Amino acid sequence: MSTTVENIQRQIGENPILIYMKGTPQLPQCGFSAQTVQALMSCGERFAFVNILDNPDIRAELPKVGNWPTFPQLWVEGELVGGCDIVVEMYENGELETLVKQAAARSQVNEESASKDA
């Protein structure tokens, strides 16, 4: 059985765009998660999410993994981007969409080359 930290590391590794949030993208459970997921959805790419309210073990351990104490947390290609203030600021200046679209494009290329190798 894997530990919570191993589970978090697997989630981050398997999902090029991942948000840990309170609630779901359709029903955020806090204002910060709502703002962050709205900015992310505005970029027009698919992303994964983990509802930390349904996963108290992840909620407890993730701040140690990313050295970031609050939620939401946006991870892109294995790197912590940040929380609400950073993500909204990046969205407003155009950086978020560029980052997300590049990650999605690289992920698509990797999936296509992996399916050719299979």
Beta-bridge mates of residue 79:
76
Within a domain: 18: yes
Residue 79 parent element (H or E): strand 79-82
Within a domain: 115: no
Within a domain: 92: yes
Asked if residue 43 belongs to a known ligand binding site, the reply is no
Q: What's the structural domain count of the chain?
A: 1
Within a domain: 71: yes
d(CA 19, CA 40): 9
pLDDT, mean of residues 48-57 = 97
Asked if residue 30 belongs to a known ligand binding site, the reply is yes
Q: What is the pTM of this model?
A: 0.92
Within a domain: 118: no
CATH of the domain at 30: 3.40.30.10
Q: Cα-flanking dihedrals φ and ψ of residue 90, to 5°? A: -65, -40
Within a domain: 117: no
d(CA 81, CA 26): 22
Within a domain: 72: yes
How far is CA 34 from each of CA 23, 39, 72, 84, rounded to the nearest angstrom?
9, 9, 9, 9
Q: What is the pLDDT of residues 72-102, one digit of tens each?
A: 999 999 999 999 999 999 999 999 999 999 9
- Assign 108 a pLDDT band (cuts: 50, 70, 90): confident
Which residue segment(s) compose the domain that 38 sits in? 4-110
**pLDDT above 60 for 118:** no
Q: Supply 116's token pair.
A: 């050719």
Within a domain: 116: no
